[in-house]
Structure 1
Amino acid sequence: MRIRPLAALSAAALSALVLAGCSGSGEPDATPSPTSTSDSACLLDAQPGADSDAVEITGSGADLAATVPDSLAFEDVQRTVTTEGSGDDLAAGALVSGFYSVYDGSSGELLQDSSDTSPDDSGEVPILLDPQSYSLFVATLECAPLGSTIAMTIPGSAFGEGGSPVVVVAETTELIPTTAGGEEQEPVDGLPTVEFSEEGAPTISIPDSEPPTEVQLEQLKTGDGPVVEPGDTVFVQYTGAKWSDGSVFDSSWERGQPAAFATTGVVEGFQQALEGQAVGSQVLVVIPPAFGYGEGEINDADLTGETLVFVVDILGVQRAAAAQ
Structure 2
Amino acid sequence: MRIRLAAALSAVAATALLISGCAGAGNPSASPSPSASSSCLLDAKPGKTSDAVKVEGEGKDLKVTVPSGTDVDAAASVERTIVKKGDGEEVKSGDLVSAQYRIVNAADNTVLDSSARQADDQLPVLLDPQQQSLFVVALGCQPLGSSVVMAVPGKMFGDGGKAVVVYAQSIKKLPTVATGKDVAPVDGMPGVKLAKDGAPEITIPKADPPTETKIAQLKQGDGPTVASGDQAIVQYRGVTWADGKEFDSSWKRGTPAQFPTTGVVAGFKKALEGQKVGSQVLVVIPPADGYGAQASGSIPANSTLVFVIDILGTVPAATPAQ
TM-score with structure 1 setting the length: 0.85
Match of 1:318?
315
Alignment map for 1:1-324 (pairs within 5 Å): 3-6=16-19, 8=21, 41-69=39-67, 70-72=69-71, 73-116=74-117, 118=118, 121-295=119-293, 302-322=299-319
Deviations 1:246-281 (A, max 9, x none): 111111111111111111111110111011111111
Structure 2 counterpart of 1:5, which letter?
L
Q: Tell me the CA shift for residue 4 of structure 1.
A: 4.7
Q: Tell me the CA shift for residue 237 of structure 1.
A: 0.7
Q: Tell me the CA shift for residue 178 of structure 1.
A: 0.3
Structure 2 counterpart of 1:230, which letter?
S
RMSD across aligned positions (CA): 2.2
Q: Tell me the CA shift for residue 46 of structure 1.
A: 0.6
Aligned equivalents of 1:235 and 1:40: distance in 2? 21
1:6 match: secondary structure: coil
1:221 match: secondary structure: strand
Structure 1 counterpart of 2:77, which letter?
D
Structure 2 counterpart of 1:271, which letter?
K
Deviations 1:137-195 (A, max 9, x none): 11111011111111001111111111111110001110010011100011112111111
Deviations 1:56-105 (A, max 9, x none): 11133333321112323332211011101111111011100011111112
Structure 1 counterpart of 2:58, which letter?
S
Contact 2:231 2:317 in 1 (8 A): yes
Change in 2 beyond 3 A, CA 1:243/1:323: farther
Aligned equivalents of 2:22 and 2:298: distance in 1? 30
Structure 2 counterpart of 1:261, which letter?
F
Aligned equivalents of 1:40 and 1:239: distance in 2? 25
Identity within the alignment, %: 49
Q: Tell me the CA shift for residue 231 of structure 1.
A: 1.4
Structure 1 counterpart of 2:60, which letter?
A
Change in 2 beyond 3 A, CA 1:168/1:182: same
2:227 match: secondary structure: coil
Deviations 1:97-124 (A, max 9, x none): 01111111222221111123x2xx2121
Q: Flag as ranges the 4+ runs of structure 1 deviating above 4 A.
A: 7-10, 298-303
Q: Which runs of 5+ in 1 are unaligned?
A: 11-38
Contact 2:93 2:127 in 1 (8 A): yes
Aligned equivalents of 2:107 and 2:257: distance in 1? 33
Q: How many residues align?
A: 292
Aligned equivalents of 2:46 and 2:58: distance in 1? 20
1:5 match: secondary structure: coil
Contact 2:38 2:92 in 1 (8 A): no
Match of 1:33?
none
Aligned equivalents of 1:106 and 1:323: distance in 2? 16
Aligned equivalents of 2:22 and 2:260: distance in 1? 16
Aligned equivalents of 2:111 and 2:241: distance in 1? 48
Q: Whose RCO is larger (CA < 8 A, sep 6+)? A: 2
Aligned equivalents of 1:40 and 1:190: distance in 2? 43
Aligned equivalents of 1:254 and 1:60: distance in 2? 40
Aligned equivalents of 1:244 and 1:274: distance in 2? 23
Q: Tell me the CA shift for residue 323 of structure 1.
A: 7.7
Deviations 1:272-316 (A, max 9, x none): 1011111111000000000011136x6875443111100001111
TM-score with structure 2 setting the length: 0.85
Q: Which runs of 5+ in 2 are unaligned?
A: 1-12, 24-36
Change in 2 beyond 3 A, CA 1:236/1:7: closer
Change in 2 beyond 3 A, CA 1:43/1:290: same
Structure 2 counterpart of 1:80, which letter?
T
Aligned equivalents of 1:244 and 1:275: distance in 2? 26
1:96 match: secondary structure: strand
Aligned equivalents of 1:86 and 1:169: distance in 2? 18
Aligned equivalents of 1:304 and 1:64: distance in 2? 52
Change in 2 beyond 3 A, CA 1:170/1:287: same
Aligned equivalents of 2:236 and 2:22: distance in 1? 24
1:286 match: secondary structure: strand
Aligned equivalents of 2:244 and 2:316: distance in 1? 34
Change in 2 beyond 3 A, CA 1:40/1:95: closer
Which range moves more in the overlay, 187-196 or 63-72? Answer: 63-72
